Amino acid sequence: MLTSVSKTISQPHASFLAEASHSLAAQVGHTPLLRLDQVAQWAELAPGVTLLAKAEWFNPSGSVKDRAALHIIRTAEQNGRLRPGMTLLDSTSGNMGIAYAMLGSARGYNIKLTLPQNASPERIAILQAYGAELIFTDPLEGSDGAILEARQLAAADPSLYYANQYNNDASWQAHYLSTGPEIWEQTAGEVTHFVAGLGTSGTFTGTTRRLREFNPDICCISMQPDSPFNGLEGLKHMPTAIKPGIYDESLADENVAVRTEDAYEMARFLARKEGVFGGISAAAAVAAAVQVAQRLTRGVVVTILPDNGFKYLSERFWTA
């Protein structure tokens, strides 16, 4: 018997993807679930274990963040906090900003973003192409520095709509309403393990809550970098970071740490042996999923590939 969190999510959020069929917003979600057979063979997984990954770059701006950005914007529109001509402000490490910029252009909003100076040049170029206003923060402070700058800007100018993705329930609700049900349907209810990285924590939080309604026995594992100083863009080392308000550390059955070097190695393997050109956080997620899958004799392990590798082409590890 399911105990639904959806009772606490006000309508019309249940129609999360209800948009005109040819709009950009209508293309968000329903991303494919890929079998990673070459990874499974390389990792010597047991024959009864299947490794699957959700390819989120099929979203229109190229990342999983389209889901959260769309739901944050639609929620703000519905409650009257965001109207055409207004400026949406938030902090980002890149992908969420790109999603905001795409949807903002399509829906008539100005976008102002704070982000670390060391965000990949590809992400910065895309944001500039969309016309977003960028405010760069100290790269040594990472995403936390961008968060603090956004808070100061919001306090100084009440006319801005501060989306505040790290503390906005619409962020995790997007995955509760879309990612969780998609995984359940695409695996015909056979998913046994779910693995996802922690940034805002919205993907893990929302998907986990929904999957456990379908089957409380599904094991949900969160992944994060193994140290505060790492090269895994978009992910947080929670013990040393500003913890998102939407983060619920009691949800995870287990927390897995991934080294930057292991993520780089996995990114190269995915591209060269699996034909999957994933981003850095995607590679880290697969590395974590492999750690989980190697302990099993039977199971269906699903992870999330937040974006592809095109935004990281300037990184040197590809040719190592």
The predicted-structure confidence for 110-163, as pLDDT tens digits, reads as follows 999 999 999 889 999 999 999 999 999 999 898 899 999 999 999 999 999 999
Catalytic residue among 65, 112, 236, 311: 65
Question: What pLDDT digit, counting tens, does each position of 259-274 carry?
Answer: 999 999 999 999 999 9
Average pLDDT over residues 224-229: 94
Mean pLDDT of the 239-261 span: 96
Torsions phi, psi for 180 (to 5 deg): -60, -55
pLDDT of 32 over the 50 cut: yes
pLDDT score of 22: 82
- The pLDDT assigned to 69 comes to 98
Q: Is the pLDDT of residue 25 over 70?
A: yes
pLDDT at 156: 97
**Across the chain, what does the average pLDDT equal?**
93
Length of the chain in residues, anyone? 320
How far is the CA of 211 from the CAs of 185, 261, 286, in angstroms? 11, 31, 19
Which of 93, 201, 281, 311 is an active site residue?
Answer: 281
Residue 281 known to be catalytic: yes
CATH 3.30.2270.10 assigned to domain 22-58+177-319? The reply is no
pLDDT for 21 equals 77
Between the alpha carbon of residue 320 and those of residues 71, 233, 268, the distances in Å are 39, 19, 9
Mean pLDDT of 182-207: 98
So what's the pLDDT on residue 234?
86
Q: What is the pLDDT of residue 5?
A: 60
* Predicted local confidence at residue 233, as pLDDT: 85
Give the residue range(s) of CATH 3.40.50.1100 domains in the chain.
22-58+177-319, 65-166
pLDDT at site 12: 44
pLDDT of 42 reads: 98
Spatial separation of the C-alpha atoms in residues 293 and 50, rounded to whole Å: 8
Catalytic residue list contains 65: yes
Question: In the CATH hierarchy, which fold is given to the domain comprising 65-166?
Answer: Rossmann fold (3.40.50)
**Do 65 and 98 meet the contact criterion of CB atoms below 8 Å apart?**
yes
Confidence band, pLDDT 50/70/90 cuts, at residue 9: low
